Amino acid sequence: MRKILFLMLFLSSLYGMAEGGADRRYWCDITYRIAHPVLDAMSRGELQKTMLTEFSPTFDKRDRRVAYMECFGRLMAGIAPWLALPDDGTKEGKMRNELRQQALQSYRNAVNPSSPDYLCWGIAGQNLVDAAYIAESFLRAYDALWMPLDSVTKQRYIKEFKKLRKIDPPYTNWLLFSSTIEAFMAKAGVNDYDQYRVNSTCRKMEEWYVGDGWYADGPSFAFDYYSSYVFHPMYLETLQAMQDAKANTRIDYRKYYERALARAQKHSIILERLISPEGTFPVFGRSIPYRLAAMQPLALMAWHEELPAELSCGQVRAALTAVIHRMFDHQVNFNAKGYLTIGFCGSQPDIADWYTNNGSLYMTSLVFMPLGLPADNKFWTDAPQKWTQQKAWSGESFPKDHQWKDRITTTDKW
């Protein structure tokens, strides 16, 4: 009997590895399809020459060159964890190495005034947003993407980041763009990083937290996905970078981080429950063309191996894989040159907001962060499991949900 049980467990593990391997190959293929046109062109200094751009029918009067910075910064924030994995001889490893080398050259071009793909630093308030995503990509793959850059390129980034201090951010999630940039500079050893921009943002995040895993986008609550797009990830990364920098200020970054992590875990539970049995999730709020970025906290928790006890690796991978299939298998999400089109599931330009261009849409790459886990990690090897809505709508037992409250309190250190 024990031999039979062992054989069953062994066969089950092989099944899980096979399923997880197929899922990973699919995720890699979609990620490569999204990233390659951008990085191949930009590494050759030809992104701004060749990218087939698209703008909202109601696009405002800002300089349209912001599209290239949006495209590059947001893409890199999503794929940075994957590119940070060590090289290997697999097909995936070769894809990853190709993209990493292209990314490193693209980073150089982005701040080189002599490059045709020098980005439009400082021409619009929008630059603050996408500079933050570039800084976030460095935080997510510090050793693989920041450290290999030459000293001139690094100095250029610091100079460009500091120039963005002249931008007065709106009293919304934009505060986190400033804090992410400044916290990155603190981690990178820049002595004159702006401590006030970091700490005042942290205090505002505490004021704007409304409970049960949700943040208000400023003084009033907005029912949209901005808790996913910005609040949870950038707040956590601001706090972690300040710990990495060993910054000693009034704020206890470690305790703040632990509390923010618990909130992100609760929000991940909510996001998993939003995924229907068919692999769809509800469309509401602004910026919905960001597509899969709505699931960013769930992906972030998986990558950090901090999924809450209520969520197994097998169910999260299965749920996210189902969503990716629903979005990318049958609808046309790419234009004639391989760049993303404006839409949610296909080409749907009329759902664009006034600030949307198809560079904005590379936020969708943020869901692919679990690729930063190696192929033998349990996220990829565990057998797929039904997610919550599949269980609920098939008459099976499923976990109850309930209100969640903070348990960690903080006070200033002095």
Residue 270 pLDDT more than 80? Answer: yes
Strand partners, 211: 214
CA distance 403 to 211: 9
CA distance 55 to 180: 27
Amino acid 18: pLDDT: 63
pLDDT in tens, 208-233: 999 999 999 999 999 999 999 999 99
| CA 150, chain centre distance (Å) | 26
Residue 16 pLDDT more than 80? Answer: no
The rounded percent of the chain whose pLDDT value lies above 90 is: 93
Contacts 24+ apart (CB under 8 A), 201-210: 201/175, 201/176, 201/238, 202/235, 202/238, 202/239, 202/251, 202/256, 204/175, 205/175, 205/176, 205/231, 205/235, 205/260, 209/263
pLDDT in tens, 161-181: 999 999 999 999 999 999 999
pLDDT in tens, 233-255: 999 999 999 999 999 999 999 99
Amino acid 347: pLDDT: 96
pLDDT in tens, 184-208: 999 999 999 999 999 999 999 999 9
Residue 15 pLDDT more than 70? Answer: no
Q: Map tokens 């699919």 to a residue.
A: 26
Task: Report, as an integer, the average pLDDT of 259-275.
Answer: 98
| CA 154, chain centre distance (Å) | 23
CA distance 234 to 177: 8
Secondary structure of the chain in HEC code, one letter for each residue: CHHHHHHHHHHHHHHHHHHHHHHHHHHHHHHHHHHHHHHHHHHCCCHHHHCCCCECCCCCCCCCCHHHHHHHHHHHHHHHHHHCCCCCCCHHHHHHHHHHHHHHHHHHHHCCCCCCCCCCCCCCCHHHHHHHHHHHHHHHCHHHHHCCCCHHHHHHHHHHHHHHHHCCCCCCCCHHHHHHHHHHHHHCCCCCCCHHHHHHHHHHHHHHEEECCEECCCCCCCCCCHHHHHHHHHHHHHHHHHHHCCCCCCCCHHHHHHHHHHHHHHHHHHHHHHCCCCCCCCCCCCCHHHHHHHHHHHHHHHHCCCCCCCCCHHHHHHHHHHHHHHHHCCCCCECCCCCECCCCCCCCHHHCCCCCECCHHHHHHHHHHHHHCCCCCHHHHCCCCCCHHHHHCCCCCCCCCCCCCCCCCCCCCC
Q: Which of 4-18, 274-288, 346-360 has the lowest mean pLDDT?
A: 4-18
Residue 31 pLDDT more than 60? Answer: yes
Amino acid 135: pLDDT: 98
Residue 6 pLDDT more than 50? Answer: no
On average, the pLDDT of the chain sits at 94
Amino acid 291: pLDDT: 98
Structural domains in the chain plus CATH codes: 18-392 (1.50.10)
Q: What is the token pair recorded at 292? A: 């899969």
Exposure class string for 347-363: b at 16+ Cβ within 10 A, else e: eeeeebeebbbbbbbbb
Amino acid 178: pLDDT: 98
CA distance 37 to 53: 13
Single out the residue of 51, 28, 39, 13 nearest to residue 336, CA to CA.
51
CA distance 79 to 32: 9
Read off the pTM.
0.94
Single out the residue of 228, 201, 203 nearest to residue 213, CA to CA.
228
Q: How many CB atoms lie within 10 A of CB 36?
A: 15
Task: Report, as an integer, the average pLDDT of 69-84.
Answer: 98
Amino acid 251: pLDDT: 98
Task: Report, as an integer, the average pLDDT of 66-86.
Answer: 98
Q: What is the token pair recorded at 173? A: 């999630």
